[in-house]
Amino acid sequence: MPSATEPARETIPDLSQKLPRLIPRARPKASPRANRNAGPQTPPLPSPPPIDEITFIHPTRRILTTHDHELFLASPTRTLLVSFIFNVTDSVTDLPISAVSSKPQQHPTITSLLTILSSATSLLEECPPDYNAGSRFGNPAFRTYITALTTHLPTWHLTHFPTLPPGALTELHTYLTSSFGSARRIDYGSGHELNFLVYALCLYRLALLPPPTFPALALVVFPAYLALMRRLQETYYLEPAGSHGVWGLDDYHFLPFLFGAAQLKRHAFLRPLAIHSQPTVEAYADEFLYLDAVRHVNATKTVQGLRWHSPMLDDISGVKAGWGKVCEGLKKMFEGEVLGKLVVMQHFLFGGLVAAVEGMTAGDDDGDDEKEVVVPGKEDEGEERVAEGHEGHKHNGDAWGDCCGIRVPSSVGAAQELKKRTGGQGLRRLPFD
């Protein structure tokens, strides 16, 4: 018998057979809206074709109408372009520049490309800009530079790629020349930048640039090309190709932001908002192309603050999901704003390595001679005559339009002219308000 001080023993019920068994909650299915917002997939990259199966053609413009552009967007060539550029982008995921540039030995093609770009940079000394009386518009001496470049490129390609047939060398030479800007319009834009990647794509299809070289292409060769183009923009005040201005990522370039976002995808502490911190940008710009591009944009604007001179970059910096989401968005933007825009793609060149589609308008000479072409208008508007280089789309006479409104002076030119007036002391930062 228990004592009075001993607590009464309670009988603990066995609930094992009464409690319901725990079942893991099923993961919610992705909604159609979520699928629509997912980033574009990277298509498989086809292997290079046998060289004896390629019919080399001097690259010409084939997208001259809306129908031509629609044919291109549904073509294997468009898929090939997306596959190549996205594979190059994916190859630099989480890679700083030093991880690739510090390798003791690069692929021979990478070395050859760097040598060609170095020679093109040295050519600047032979083609000084004309005295332009402080103008911020394109300097006519750029045409002299392009003429000299066109003269030297065939020899440089023959030196570095001696085993290629003449037709292949002609295609390479044409794409590289076209990647430096328009000699007639003295401008440069994302379409010209695209030509440099097409030049690299041609080397891939000639089995000279295998996939293991893609990180070096994006983080060693492309920055060398970028540095040269910035020198050309500063020397000849190349005008932005289009009237978008601050409504784009940059007045001239797109791909540094795409490659740079891939580099930062899973960075330990750098977030999209970091582009607003000048010390952070300066500390990491030499390692990441996105931050380098932001540094360059800031250096060429006389107004301080991304929200004033680069509102799209400012908007992107607010993406809370991180750099992976930024990279997905930039891939979508590349498909929509570069490949998907007739005003950009009407200057694209098709040859044997990057082929046109059956049904496109016959090849148009890619020369700089001014000429008129007839573009079908709406039924109630008849025909419209426009200068070569501006056909294939309607022109709004009451607004700026995408590429045929007023000429856009170079912001780089404005920065350079201000430096001249201030004795090279740099820009005096002025707040917008």
What count of other Cβ atoms lies within 10 Å of the Cβ of residue 114?
16
Q: What is the pTM for the complete model shown?
A: 0.80
Is 131 inside any structural domain? yes
Amino acid 117: pLDDT: 98
In this structure, is residue 15 part of a structural domain? no
Q: How far apart are CA 286 and CA 152, in angstroms?
A: 31
* 382 belongs to a structural domain: no
Contacts by 64-69, CB closer than 8 A, 24 or more apart: 64/346, 64/361, 64/364, 64/373, 64/391, 64/392, 65/361, 65/375, 65/376, 65/392, 66/342, 66/392, 66/393, 67/359, 68/360, 68/361, 68/392, 69/342, 69/345, 69/346, 69/392
Crossing angle for the helix pair 255-263 and 222-236, nearest 10 degrees?
140
Question: What total number of domains does the chain contain?
Answer: 1
Residue 306 in tokens: 């991304």
Asked if residue 253 is part of any domain, the answer here is yes
Please indicate, yes or no, if residue 82 is contained in any of the structural domains: yes
User: Domain limits at 333?
Assistant: 61-364+404-416
Q: What is the mean pLDDT of each run of 10 residues along the chain (433 residues)?
A: 59 69 65 60 95 94 94 97 98 97 90 97 94 74 96 96 95 96 90 95 98 97 97 91 60 92 95 94 96 90 71 88 95 92 90 95 59 40 45 42 50 57 51 42
Find the Cα–Cα–Cα–Cα dihedral 368, 372, 378, 380, rounded to 10°: 160
**Residues 357 and 351 sit within 8 Å (Cβ to Cβ):** no
429 within a domain of the structure (yes/no)? no
Question: Is the residue at 106 inside a domain?
Answer: yes
Q: Rounded to 5 degrees, what angle do the CA atoms 143, 188, 410 make? A: 90
- Could you tell me what percentage of the chain is helix, strand and coil, using 3-state DSSP and rounding each to the nearest 5? 50, 5, 45
Query: Running DSSP on this structure, what letter comes out for residue 98?
Result: H
How many beta carbons lie within 10 A of that of residue 423, not counting itself? Answer: 7
Nearest to 204 by CA among 75, 72, 91, 109: 109
| pLDDT tens-digit readout, 313-337 | 889 999 999 999 999 999 999 999 8
In 3D space, the residue among 374, 346, 340, 373 whose CA is nearest the CA of residue 360 turns out to be: 346
Task: Supply the pLDDT for residue 387.
Answer: 45
Kindly state whether residue 226 falls inside one of the protein's structural domains. Answer: yes
